[in-house]
Structure 1
Amino acid sequence: MSTTLRSIKALQPLMDRVLVQRVKAEAKTASGIFLPESTVEKLSEAKVLAVGPGGVDREGNKVKMSVDVGDRVLIPQYGGSPVKVGDEEFTLFRDHELLAKIKE
């Protein structure tokens, strides 16, 4: 099940949630041949678009988020909550569900 919004700017993640958009795989080979969408696989790389303020631990202390807006991250193949805005697809994950941060 997915949620449909008019603008992604209307979405502010809560608690320890992170809004990401998958990086699209190249639909063209190095030699310039265009591949059909059915043969292009989804990448596990995504860009962080928005982050929540952070979670709270058992003692009530605020837990800092591990990623910031603009970071590139590795995401699990399955999971998250899909959000659709027009033709664009986004996903909400909890901070601890992200697999890794990609450093440049």
Structure 2
Amino acid sequence: MLQPIGDRVIVKVKDEEEKTVGGIVLASNAKKKPTEGEVVAVGEGAYASNGEKIPMSVKKGDVVLYDRYSGTNVEYEGEKYLVLHEKDILAIAK
């Protein structure tokens, strides 16, 4: 498994629906880029300028919302992941 470094988080991207509520099948270029996923790995955290470690506020298993254009897409062992900085996570879904 991938292990992020610093304040990075690896998120398993949630697949977008391929049909609308009315049952219309969407073309691949009509689908919106996903903005939700499950955290599968968390880095050790960032360090403040005084050397103090800043703990991460997300943990493995959290479902998070993130900005549509943030992070780096990665494919690993056939699965799609997104590597984000913790600051790019907008919310944790409860």
TM-score range, shorter chain: 0.7 to 0.9
Percent identity, aligned pairs only? 38
In the other structure, the counterpart of 2:62 is 71
Aligned equivalent of 2:19, options 16, 28, 32: 28
> Going by fraction, where is helix more abundant, 1 or 2?
1
Unaligned runs of 5+ in 1: 1-8
Deviation beyond 4 Å, 4+ runs, structure 1: 29-34
Separation in 2, partners of 1:91, 1:82: 5
- For residue 55 of structure 1, what is the aligned residue in structure 2? 46
Between the aligned partners of 1:77 and 1:32, the Cα distance in structure 2 is: 24
Cα offsets for 1:49-104 (capped at 9, x unmatched): 1000111111111111010011111111112122112543211111111111111x
For 1:89, the equivalent position in structure 2 comes to 80
Q: In structure 2, which of residues 29, 38, 54 is the aligned counterpart of residue 38 of structure 1?
A: 29
**C-alpha contact 1:16 1:52 (8 A) present in aligned 2:** yes
Say which is worse superposed, 23-32 or 66-75, in terms of deviation: 23-32
Structure 2 distance, partners of 1:35, 1:81, is: 24
Structure 1 residue 42 displacement after superposition = 2.2
Q: Structure 2: which 5+ runs fail to align?
A: none
Q: Would the aligned equivalents of 1:24 and 1:42 in 2 still touch at CA under 8 Å?
A: no
Aligned to 1:96, what secondary structure does the other structure show?
helix
